[in-house]
């Protein structure tokens, strides 16, 4: 399974997926390209250090559709079969979703459908929930609204800050994302597998 | 701490609280009355078997405020300090909330604020979440909207039905409700303790 990963920043979940594929924890798979919409994304260097090709596709002056077409082209010509978002900060166009039907996944730091969008950890603390977590889900055109694949719960501690909670959720994200992608790859059922 | 429990049906969480208080698992506390708005509630007999006084306050022909006034009167003349809802199927009036400020708690079979109201387990299954749970919360005038006290996560299994999921959540509810009430009683902080 050829995996393409989209980032906008540090991409720590990208690193988790790349490392897992390289160690064989995601069998018969390779992260073939890491694409960022931002040239400054720190994850680009981290990916190159791991021998993964990187591409920057900037949005500047383009519509979402034009920008997505550029990314789709980079993915398609490397025969990418599974697209993993890892801190990619843009909604995908309908064209993008249709180009990879049920083959785009994302991870989000809450138990969706609760607390979608930005600052999910802050939303959880402000609401006063005692349990939050992370969710791997298929991507559709909505904001963190696609079908849920896997979730993991994380306890909120009485003295948690946004930072401390985010760190504990992120540790679980790295494990859960690898577990979910491994399941998608090994199940090899249509429409995941071409 | 004198505890009053409101039920509308079987009241299995009422049984968990009564038994825990009688066993000393909720220290220095007694379930002094179980009140039902329905004379047919099966929990009335279960409570009496455990030596707990029972009262039926029917709604028939009364406004919510009149009905709640009847219940408040029964609670107050037994010096009830903490009101626990256990499958009580009515929203409380503003008068009721104000009569027991921050001393009315409820348990709900989801990780609130997700899936409030009826059929929380069915809502969870229909949304396709992989983790749900239960929540003990203070009661306000909204539907399952009060401040969260404790939560516990429950995994949704691939072959879960509403019934099988409800049973597993209910087991956790019984433990969580006892744990939450024990914490409220033993912390004895205002405004929980008179």
pLDDT digits (tens, 9 = 90+) for B25-62: 999 999 999 999 999 999 999 999 999 999 999 999 99
Residue with the two structure tokens 């949704």: B156
- Based on the residue annotation, tell me whether B137 is a catalytic residue of this protein: no
Q: Kindly list the strands in the beta sheet with A2-7, ordered across the sheet, starting from the edge strand earlier in the chain.
A: A53-56, A30-36, A2-7, A82-85, A104-108, A131-138, A148-155
Say if pTM beats, i.e. exceeds, 0.95: no
What lies within 8 Å, CB to CB, of B70 at 6+ separation is B57, B62
Q: Tell me the C-alpha distance between B15 and A87, whole Å.
A: 47
Structure-token pair, residue B32: 């002094």
Residue B194 within a domain: no
Domain with A79 in it: 2-187
The CATH number linked to A157 is 3.40.50.170
Q: Tell me the C-alpha distance between B82 and B29, whole Å.
A: 10
Residue B193 within a domain: no
pLDDT of A142: 87
Q: How far is B113 from chain A (nearest CA, A)?
A: 8
pLDDT in tens, B59-88: 999 999 999 999 999 999 999 999 999 999
Residue A162 within a domain: yes
pLDDT of B141: 87
Cβ contact, residue pair A129, B150, below 8 Å:
no
Look at residues A33, A151, A89 and name the one whose alpha carbon lies nearest to residue B127: A151
Residue A169 within a domain: yes
Residue A102 within a domain: yes
Which positions in chain B touch A115 (Cβ < 8 Å)?
none
Query: Across residues B14-19, what is the average pLDDT?
Result: 98
Cβ contact, residue pair A111, B114, below 8 Å:
yes
Interface predicted TM-score (ipTM): 0.85
pLDDT of A96: 97
Residue B66 within a domain: yes
Divide the 194 residues of chain A into consecutive groups of 10 and give the mean pLDDT of each group.
97 97 96 98 98 96 95 98 96 96 96 96 98 97 92 98 98 98 82 46
Residue A194 within a domain: no
How confident is the prediction for chain B on average, in pLDDT? Answer: 95
Q: How far is A51 from chain B (nearest CA, A)?
A: 35
Q: How far is B75 from chain A (nearest CA, A)?
A: 30
Residue A160 within a domain: yes
Residue of chain A with shortest Cα separation from B125 = A148
How many distinct structural domains can be found in chain A? Answer: 1
């Amino acid at each position: 399974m050829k995996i393409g990963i989209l980032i906008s920043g540090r991409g720590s979940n990208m690193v988790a997926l790349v490392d897992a594929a390289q160690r064989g924890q995601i069998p018969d798979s390779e992260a073939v390209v890491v694409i960022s919409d931002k040239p400054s994304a720190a994850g680009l260097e981290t990916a190159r250090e791991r021998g993964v090709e990187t591409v920057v596709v900037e949005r500047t002056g383009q519509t979402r559709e034009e920008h997505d077409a550029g990314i789709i082209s980079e993915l398609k010509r490397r025969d990418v079969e599974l697209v993993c978002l890892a801190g990619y900060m843009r909604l995908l166009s309908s064209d993008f979703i249709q180009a990879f039907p049920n083959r785009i996944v994302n991870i989000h730091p809450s138990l969706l459908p609760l607390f979608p969008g930005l600052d999910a950890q802050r939303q959880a603390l402000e609401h006063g929930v005692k349990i939050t977590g992370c969710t791997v889900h298929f991507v559709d055109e909505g904001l963190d609204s696609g079908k849920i694949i896997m979730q993991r719960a994380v306890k909120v501690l009485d003295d948690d800050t946004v930072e401390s909670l985010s760190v504990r959720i992120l540790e679980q994200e790295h494990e859960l994302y690898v577990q979910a992608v491994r399941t998608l790859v090994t199940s090899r059922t249509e429409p995941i597998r071409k």
